Amino acid sequence: MTANHTPFRLPSFGPSTSRPRTRIFPSAATTRINGDVTTSTVSDVGLKPRNLSSVKNDNKNVEIEKVYVKTDDGIDEKSLAVERTTDEEDNARSENKEGAPIKNNNAEDETEVEREAWKLLQEALVTYCDTPVGTVAANDSSDEALNYDQVFIRDFIPSALAFLLKGETEIVKNFLLHTLQLQSWEKTVDCYSPGQGLMPASFKVKTMQVDEEKVEEVLDPDFGESAIGRVAPVDSGLWWIILLRAYGKLTGDYSLQERVDVQTGLQMILNLCLTDGFDMFPSLLVTDGSCMIDRRMGIHGHPLEIQALFYSALRSAREMVNVDDGSKNLVREINNRLSALSFHIREYYWLDMKKTNEIYRYKTEEYALDAANKFNIYPEQIPQWLMDWIPREGGYLIGNLQPAHMDFRFFMLGNLWSIVSSLGTPKQNKSILNLIEAKWDDLVGHMPLKICYPALESEEWRIITGSDPKNTPWSYHNGGSWPTLLWQFTLACIKMGKSELAEDAVALAEKRLPVDSWPEYYDTRTGRFIGKQARLYQTWTLAGFLASKMFLRNPETAAKLCWEEDLEILETCVCALSKSGRAKCSRDVAKSHILV
């Protein structure tokens, strides 16, 4: 495979927050190959394992050299091009806000299983014009690819963390910049385009036959217009922001987040999330399947997973948005939303034995500003399993809250991410881990970790999933066990000073995953069997395992990715109630017992 190297070029969009719609065009570099090439892996381009950064060593400034951008006025390559000099790059690196980058993990400390996982991770690499830009979702040749041969934004996060912890930072930078270019691609579902700022769920490197001999590579994003169920990925933009912060924290290179095009992309995602709608709640209102659980599972509305990622993305953005006249309103909005969102989740999503008993004795149909049962929850909604299951010690954040509806299921990712981001109070965060420990057999069992508990069965399964044969009870999203959740669990455990829990879970995974060929998920109540339709060699399974091992080895790296309680967020209250005198701000009433 050959490629013409052109100088590093980046589009420059000026300081305005409204960026012209962008579109990626085929690379100028042409590739001569026989037959169809869809995705190139490292072995295709002859890279040596563990040597990713050397890809660009002979030409330091070519990391996204072949991205061409078209504005509504056509392609103006010259005026768009920004050539970055080595000096500029070096200066940018030296503006390290937190001193030296982290110590890289040493290969000598790795176990045999880790070495195997690293090899598989290298094989999952996807290159675009000879540059690694991501990892495929799964490398399972025995099964139908569907879209598992694509680079998913959410799936790449543990790969990115593993690479960053290993000191292989270029691929993460490439990923962040390339996905940024895909933002706002004008794709439609029946002539309706997604909102500006939306990030795709996934992308694929495709080849285009230009003439008989010439083939060009293009990046083809999927915003949900091809996805099963046609779901728009709300979590992609949130993950992108979280990863951008992680990149700065783990490399010490903050110049990436300061770039004008990156700031613009960041602000576009935020604007999309912060747009006013009809909603009464500070939580984000989304459709079913808009996150890791990307099929119908009855999580439409205000699912915890999205709220926890939204909160983390807002906290990340608060650290990264350059404050100037153009962005000061946005910064104010971020602060207000953080404050309202944390109050809302802490106060209304929290469930423990005491709260269950309160709900059990709720009065309904209260028409009043200061109603105790604000959302008109009928006590009959409390499921029997919960009455038997809720431990005396510990608690968790429920899956969803809507008018007259509480989803009492325990969703792992949302709870873990609430700990990591301090969306929960310090006491709540501690209680969540206590609950996981107390319910170890249900939530960890033979394979960490349950995506949600319990499974929907019988009539509920039929009505809520729409009789989805992939989501049968205790399978896949419906109570399946997902080893990729290990890295988030490890972060949460390290943050709460309970690394030993993570160590136990990692040890379980280390025994089984290589023997079972690194499956995507496990089935049954305790995760005893490889999932019915699980892909093997699932990248985020092995990357999540690797990241967990590295966090445990260097807990200070985990600390860099977590957030502590921020009292400033709790102090901000923008509600006008006290001023109007119509009613008491519900926060003043609540502050004493739940906020911290």
In the complex with ligand GLC, the residue whose CB is nearer, 130 or 294, is 294
CB-closest chain residue to ligand GLC? 137
Check if the beta carbon of residue 550 is closer than 8 Å to that of residue 167: no
**In angstroms, what is the minimal distance from the CB of 330 to ligand GLC?**
29
Q: What track of x and - describes contact with ligand GLC for positions 152 through 171 (by CB under 6 A)?
A: x-xx----------------
Q: Least distance to ligand GLC from the beta carbon of 80, Å? A: 32
Nearer to ligand GLC, 155 or 220 (CB): 155
Least spacing, CB of residue 270 vs ligand GLC, in Å: 23
Check residue 523 for interaction with ligand GLC (CB under 6 A).
Answer: no
Judged by CB under 6 A, the stretch of 8-16, 150-158, 356-364, 581-589 that binds ligand GLC is 150-158
Span from 151-159, 189-197, 211-219, 552-560 in contact with ligand GLC (CB under 6 A) = 151-159
Smallest separation, CB 489 to ligand GLC (Å): 17
Minimum CB–partner distance for residue 418 and ligand GLC (Å): 19
Q: Classify the C-alpha dihedral 335-337-338-342 as positive or negative.
A: positive
Q: Which is nearer to ligand GLC, 461 or 537 (CB)?
A: 537
Q: What are phi and psi of 207, to 5 degrees?
A: -115, 145
User: Token digits for 268?
Assistant: 């576009």
- With CB under 6 A as the contact rule, which of the stretches 19-27, 35-43, 149-157, 174-182 interacts with ligand GLC? 149-157
Nearer to ligand GLC, 297 or 433 (CB): 297
Q: Which residues lie below 8 Å from residue 153, measured CB to CB, with a gap of 6+?
A: 179, 199, 200, 201, 202, 233, 235, 236, 239, 240
Kindly tell me which of 309 and 382 has the beta carbon lying closer to ligand GLC: 309
Give the burial class of 99: count Cβ atoms within 10 A of its Cβ; 0-12 exposed, 13-18 middle, 19 or more buried. exposed
Tokens of 571: 């102090």
Residue 114 or 294 having the CB closest to ligand GLC: 294
**Distant-in-sequence contacts of 366-374, Cβ < 8 A, 24+ apart:** 369/582, 369/583, 370/583, 370/584, 370/586, 370/589, 374/348
CB 501 within 8 A of CB 495: no
Question: Which residue type occupies 491?
Answer: L
DSSP state of 520: S
CB of 554 to ligand GLC, least distance (A): 27
User: How many whole angstroms separate alpha carbon 124 and alpha carbon 118?
Assistant: 10
Provide, rounded to whole angstroms, the least separation between the CB of residue 111 and ligand GLC.
Answer: 25
In this structure, which amino acid lies at residue 304? L
CA–CA distance, 128 with 44 (Å, rounded to integer): 12
Question: Smaller CB distance to ligand GLC: residue 239 or 343?
Answer: 239
Q: Which is nearer to ligand GLC, 163 or 540 (CB)?
A: 540
Name residues contacting ligand GLC, limited to 294-313 (CB under 6 A). 294
Closest approach of Cβ 152 to ligand GLC, in Å?
Answer: 4
CA pair distance 452, 91, nearest whole angstrom: 47
At its nearest, how many Å lie between ligand GLC and the CB of residue 155? 5
Which two tokens mark 354? 């005491």
Distant-in-sequence, close-in-space partners of 12: CB < 8 Å, separation ≥ 6: 80, 81, 82, 260, 261
Q: Which element (helix H / strand E) includes 200?
A: none
d(CA 522, CA 446): 9
Instruction: State the number of binding residues for ligand GLC (CB under 6 A).
Output: 6
In this chain, which stretch among 5-13, 23-31, 148-156, 210-218 interacts with ligand GLC, using CB under 6 A?
Answer: 148-156
Single out the residue of 233, 235, 254, 232 nearest to residue 244, CA to CA. 254
Closest contact distance (angstroms) between CB of 482 and ligand GLC is 9
Tokens for 197? Answer: 């700022």
- Asked if 292 is part of the footprint of ligand GLC (rule: CB under 6 A), the reply reads yes
- Binding-site string for ligand GLC from residue 126 to residue 145, where x marks contact by CB under 6 A and - marks none: -----------x--------
CA dist., res. 513 & res. 537, Å (int): 9
When the beta carbons of 286 and 320 are compared against ligand GLC, the nearer one is: 286
Cβ closest to ligand GLC, residue 248 vs residue 289: 289
Chain residues that interact with ligand GLC, rule: CB under 6 A: 137, 152, 154-155, 292, 294
